[in-house]
């Protein structure tokens, strides 16, 4: 999905979520486990205004599991429950309703005390484009994708999707914008494929990717592209370009005259990185 975010779109996106908050017991904030900070909306705390929240680190199958554990501890230390899932296969998705129930334990207990039959808890999934909102919704809904009908106060046509007997999801997830102001964030999102459009030059993104991989995941990079010589200094741009050229030669990306076709090799590097072909990689660590 390609979205050009202008101030008007951001205001509308924010308002759409704020209007739904009163209908919800909890918000499910979806982040990309490879870039948990860069895939986070910069205004999320302001928008959710203290509404109970479960953070989901999605695409955990593509992220470094040790880094994912560190991120879960980081969010817990900040008072946010967080779990890692892979929505594409459904791994750990089944834990979500249970975690929601735990987080809303007091609310459910109060309802019971008042003699009310505890109803299903109502949730909205929010996140930036391509983080996996639809995939997770479909996983959670399973065969129950049939909606449960309109409710008072909800925009006409707004449907709730049943997830077992204790959780209901609003059928349209909340789409939020990422942090654009930081160029580094833009590169990281482009590396994961969250930004698909040609806002950033592909060779620049691949250069940035190779620099990160060479400094943090050299073995994975070397193994994938049969590289033997690690760069001495990954801050030296020439050494990174040389690595890209080595990769290009290995993959036969040559122009007439024997020069390496950097555009072509950039495409290969990014495609393979996004598909997890270099193993499980996390591009940012929590600042503890
Ligand atoms: P959105 O609603 O938040 O915009 O995201 P959506 O569910 O459409 O997911 C975006 C892409 O991410 C989809 O790939 C989807 O299959 C993939 N995806 C979602 N969750 C996971 C996950 O946990 N692990 C992995 N590995 N992939 C996940 P797609 O439509 O095929 O697009 P693309 O692969 O061509 O980028």
pLDDT value of position 242:
96
Atom of ligand 1 nearest to the CA of 1: 4
The pLDDT of residue 42: 95
* CA–CA distance, 132 with 61 (Å, rounded to integer): 13
Question: Cβ(91) to ligand 1 under 6 A?
Answer: no
The pLDDT value recorded for residue 182 is 87
Q: Give me the pLDDT at residue 154, please.
A: 44
Q: How many helices (H) and strands (E) does the chain have?
A: 11, 7
- The sign of the torsion formed by the CA atoms of 208, 286, 169, 163 equals positive
pLDDT at res. 191: 93
CA–centroid distance, residue 87 to ligand 1 (Å): 8
Low-confidence ranges of the chain (pLDDT < 70): 1-3, 143-157, 196-199
**Ligand 1 centroid – CA 51 distance (Å):** 26
Using CA atoms, how far apart are residues 192 and 39, in angstroms rounded to an integer? Answer: 10
Closest CA to 154 of 198, 189, 124, 188: 124
Instruction: Give the pLDDT of residue 156.
Output: 54
Q: How far is CA 219 from each of CA 66, 241, 267, rounded to the nearest angstrom?
A: 16, 18, 21
Q: Alpha-carbon distance 121 to 97, whole Å?
A: 9
What tokens were used for 113?
A: 């005390």
10 Å CB burial of residue 266 (0-12, 13-18, 19+) is: buried
**pLDDT value at residue 258:** 92
Strands (E), the chain: 26-32, 53-58, 81-84, 121-127, 160-163, 167-170, 174-175
At residue 180, the pLDDT reads 79
CB of 42 closer than 6 angstroms to any ligand 1 atom = no
pLDDT number for residue 195: 82
């Amino acid at each position: 999905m390609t979205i050009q975010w202008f101030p008007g779109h951001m205001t509308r996106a924010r308002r759409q979520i704020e209007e739904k908050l009163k209908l919800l017991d909890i918000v499910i904030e979806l982040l990309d486990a490879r870039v948990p900070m860069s895939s986070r909306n910069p205004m999320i705390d302001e928008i959710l205004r203290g509404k109970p929240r479960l953070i989901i680190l999605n695409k955990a199958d593509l992220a470094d599991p040790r880094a994912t554990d560190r991120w879960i501890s980081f969010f817990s230390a900040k008072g946010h429950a967080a779990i890692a899932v892979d929505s594409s296969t459904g791994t750990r998705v089944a834990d979500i309703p249970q975690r929601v129930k735990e987080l809303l334990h007091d609310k459910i207990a109060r309802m019971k005390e008042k003699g009310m039959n505890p109803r299903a808890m109502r949730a909205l999934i929010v996140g930036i484009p391509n983080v996996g909102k639809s995939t997770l919704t479909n996983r959670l809904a399973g065969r129950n994708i049939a909606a449960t009908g309109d409710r008072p106060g909800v925009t006409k046509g707004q449907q709730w999707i049943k997830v077992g007997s204790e959780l209901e999801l609003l059928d349209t997830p909340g789409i939020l914008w990422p942090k654009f102001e930081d160029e580094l964030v833009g590169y990281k999102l482009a590396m994961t494929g969250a930004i698909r459009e040609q806002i950033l030059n592909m060779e620049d993104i691949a250069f940035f990717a190779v620099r990160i991989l060479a400094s943090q995941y050299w073995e994975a990079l070397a193994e994938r592209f049969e590289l033997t010589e690690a760069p001495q200094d990954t801050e030296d741009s020439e050494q990174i370009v040389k690595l890209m050229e080595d990769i290009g030669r290995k993959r036969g990306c040559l122009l007439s005259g024997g020069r390496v076709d950097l555009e072509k090799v950039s495409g290969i590097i990014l495609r393979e990185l996004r598909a997890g072909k270099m193993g499980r990689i996390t591009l940012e660590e929590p600042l503890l």
